Amino acid sequence: MIRRFGTLFIASILASSASPARAGEVHVAVAANFTAPMQRIAADFEQATGHHALLTFGATGKFYAQIKNGAPFDVLLAADDKTPAKLERENATVPGSRFTYAIGKLVLWSAKPDGVDAQGEVLKRGAFKHLAIAAPKLAPYGAAAVETLEKLGLSSAIEPKFVQGENIAQTYQFVATGNAELGFIALSQVYADSKIKSGSAWIVPDDLHRPIRQDAVLLAKAKDNPAAVALIGYLKSTAAKTVIKSFGYSQ
């Protein structure tokens, strides 16, 4: 028995010494609109590299405040390009790490099959009680929604009907649960396999609002974190770009 135990013990030591070094972890603050793509990318990233990505989803404006207050994030995937650029100017990022990982699409969506027409004329008719948008001061998709209504000359008429979500995920929930008949959300939330998954939608033309450029950046505290550096690189890979495009983003 003693000899057998010793053999097993030696075998276990050899096995552990032959195994690769323990993979690292990267804490990622992810814009709420990018939830589904990033969940898939994180799984692919772990399979490809062994590194584990811990994901937190929310509003970009709140992430900025949390980062400035010492939140333990390594990478920020913002819903805009202004927030990462601001952090860069404040020396809170690794120089040269910022890049655009996706350009978002705004969509007017209803959970009902006939709730929104393909030209968005429902907005002009105004036959609805509530329209959900993400808080414009916190969420770039909310800001794009306000800009769209202003371009259409409908802002004053529709603003009293606003139901504001803290972020784009909550805004989607308002519409999905029927608390708002329609709302402006990210196309990625209702898009798969080159079509709208459910309900009805109007994809807002790009000329009605400024481009929703979504930038990623490596935060200064993570400059020596191999997992964080690897994730920034992986987001630029063909595999990641394929996933991103499959959710309706452009690049």
For the chain, give every residue range classified as CATH 3.40.190.10. Answer: 22-103+212-246, 106-203
pLDDT of residue 4: 43
Mean predicted confidence (pLDDT) in 49-78: 95
pLDDT at 20 over 80: no
The region that residue 250 occupies, defined by phi over 0 for left and psi between -120 and 50 for alpha, beta otherwise, is beta
Is the separation of the CB atoms in 228 and 74 below 8 Å? yes
Least confident of 8-17, 96-105, 157-166, 228-237: 8-17
Give the CATH number of domain 106-203: 3.40.190.10
* Per-residue confidence band for 137, with pLDDT thresholds at 50, 70 and 90: confident
Sign, CA dihedral 183-186-189-194, equals positive
Mean predicted confidence (pLDDT) in 41-58: 97
- Tokens, residue 247: 């959710």
Pairwise pLDDT comparison (16 vs 206), residue with the higher score: 206
* Per-residue confidence band for 157, with pLDDT thresholds at 50, 70 and 90: very high
* Percent of the chain at pLDDT exceeding 90: 82
pLDDT at 22 over 70: no
* Percent of the chain at pLDDT exceeding 70: 91
CA 249 → CA 7, 64, 86, distances in Å? 56, 23, 23
Mean predicted confidence (pLDDT) in 158-186: 95
pLDDT at 235 over 70: yes
CATH fold for domain 22-103+212-246 = D-Maltodextrin-Binding Protein; domain 2 (3.40.190)
Alpha helix (H) residue ranges in 111-180: 122-125, 140-152, 155-158, 168-176
Mean predicted confidence (pLDDT) in 163-191: 95
Mean predicted confidence (pLDDT) in 181-185: 97
* Per-residue confidence band for 227, with pLDDT thresholds at 50, 70 and 90: very high
Is the separation of the CB atoms in 185 and 31 below 8 Å? no
> Please, which residues bridge with residue 29 across strands?
56, 76
80-113 pLDDT per residue, tens: 999 999 999 999 999 999 999 999 999 999 999 9
CA–CA dist 191, 163 (Å, integer):
23
- Tokens, residue 235: 């987001």
